[in-house]
């Protein structure tokens, strides 16, 4: 396949070497394209041609990010060749944030988090170009109900599940009339690049969605918080321009985190069942952070 694409696509034809990248959960095939000019490196993603329409939307989103000067890969080319869809973007120099954050001091972690928060705020300046889409409340409510029904028959159980369901029911109205903006929808340290112990940019807009900007914070509780509390605090305070977020933010953050209990379990069973124990451990951690949502502000932030 790569041999065929290399013959037909100029950007690939001119590269010196091609290295497959196996990191991540995406179904895309990913390759690093190296050139004689050592400073020039691109990423090639290939995918089923049936996904081309969705990938063109992602390509358009990346163009929007370029206009907003968001630190992320720049879109170069998208198309189809021999029944295979492909997208080529620039390579973001740096190291995986999940691993690199561990060697940074707490102050460095906090500063990286602040930059990540500021960059996320820029992402959220990109508004939904369609004025005819259904409301965030309607879409998210339907998704949650489907995940909840799947969870109730999946055989897994979390502690105080009835309490969690009641918390969601009592707070779900808060999603009404929320702004509809671009959501990265997978914003955590695995999709953040660091360079020389500093924030360098954002990866992987493949799961982008449209809806409440506060929804992009739930991955703090699910993933980033366990890797770096200073980073997590920094991301929140950088986003809110060094101000403490208001109670309304924490209510929505807790609502989305509570919903993620059921969606995360169902997603994990379906896609990576061998990781369900690790997922349950992460869920238990953030539930205890919030005392099973008797507290909307997590104990790691308050302390």
Q: What is the pLDDT of residue 38?
A: 67
Residue-wise pLDDT tens digits, 73-118: 999 999 998 888 999 999 999 999 999 999 999 999 999 999 999 9
Q: What is the pLDDT of residue 280?
A: 96
Range 200-227 average pLDDT: 96
Q: Is the pLDDT of residue 243 over 90?
A: no
Residue 247, CA atoms < 13 Å, CB-side half-sphere: 2
Q: What is the pLDDT of residue 30?
A: 92
Residue-wise pLDDT tens digits, 156-192: 999 999 999 999 999 999 999 999 999 999 999 999 9
Q: What is the pTM of this model?
A: 0.92
> Between these two residues, 9 and 138, which has the higher pLDDT value?
138
Q: What is the pLDDT of residue 262?
A: 97
| Residues in a beta bridge with 211 | 181
Q: What is the pLDDT of residue 134?
A: 81
Q: What is the pLDDT of residue 162?
A: 96
Taking residue 303's Cβ as centre, other Cβ atoms within 10 Å add up to 6
Q: What is the pLDDT of residue 131?
A: 58
Q: Beta strands of the chain (E only): which ranges? A: 17-21, 29-34, 41-48, 75-81, 84-90, 95-96, 181-183, 192-195, 198-202, 209-211
Taking residue 125's Cβ as centre, other Cβ atoms within 10 Å add up to 14
Residue-wise pLDDT tens digits, 255-289: 999 999 999 999 999 999 999 999 999 999 999 99
Q: Is the pLDDT of residue 13 over 90?
A: no
Q: Is the pLDDT of residue 132 over 80?
A: no
Q: What is the pLDDT of residue 303?
A: 76
Q: Is the pLDDT of residue 28 over 90?
A: no
Range 199-214 average pLDDT: 95
Q: What is the pLDDT of residue 40?
A: 83
Question: pLDDT band at residue 4, thresholds of 50, 70 and 90?
Answer: confident
Alpha-carbon separation of residue 293 from 32, 170, 217 (angstroms): 43, 12, 16
Q: What angle do CA 197, 198, 203 make, to 5 degrees?
A: 110
Question: pLDDT band at residue 209, thresholds of 50, 70 and 90?
Answer: very high
- Given a contact cutoff of 8 angstroms between Cβ atoms, the answer to whether 113 and 120 are in contact is no
Q: Is the pLDDT of residue 23 over 80?
A: no
Mean pLDDT for the chain overall: 93
């Amino acid at each position: 396949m790569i041999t065929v694409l290399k013959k037909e696509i100029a950007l690939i034809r001119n590269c010196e070497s091609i290295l497959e990248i196996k990191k991540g959960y995406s179904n895309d095939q990913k390759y690093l394209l190296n050139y004689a000019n050592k400073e020039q490196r691109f990423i090639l993603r290939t995918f089923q041609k049936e996904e081309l329409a969705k990938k063109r939307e992602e390509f358009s989103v990346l163009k929007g990010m370029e206009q907003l000067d968001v630190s992320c890969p720049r879109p170069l080319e998208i198309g189809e060749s021999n029944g295979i869809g492909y997208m080529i973007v620039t390579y973001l120099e740096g190291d995986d944030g999940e691993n690199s954050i561990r060697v940074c001091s707490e102050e460095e972690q906090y500063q990286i988090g602040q930059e990540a928060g500021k960059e996320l705020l820029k992402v959220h300046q990109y508004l939904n170009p369609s004025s005819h889409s259904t409301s965030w409340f309607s879409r998210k409510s339907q998704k949650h109900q489907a995940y909840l029904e799947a969870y109730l028959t999946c055989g897994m159980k979390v502690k105080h599940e009835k309490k969690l369901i009641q918390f969601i029911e009592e707070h779900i109205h808060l999603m009404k009339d929320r702004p509809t903006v671009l959501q990265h929808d997978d914003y955590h340290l695995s999709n953040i690049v660091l360079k020389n112990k500093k924030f360098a940019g954002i990866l992987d807009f493949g799961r982008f969605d449209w809806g409440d900007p506060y929804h992009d914070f739930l991955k703090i509780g699910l993933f980033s918080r366990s890797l770096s509390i200073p980073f997590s605090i920094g991301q929140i305070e950088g986003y809110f321009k060094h101000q403490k977020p208001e109670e309304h933010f924490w209510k929505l953050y807790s609502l989305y985190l509570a919903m993620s209990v059921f969606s995360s379990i169902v997603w994990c069973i379906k896609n990576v069942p061998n990781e369900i124990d690790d997922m349950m451990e992460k869920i238990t951690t953030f539930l205890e952070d919030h005392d099973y949502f008797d507290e909307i502000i997590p104990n790691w932030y308050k302390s």
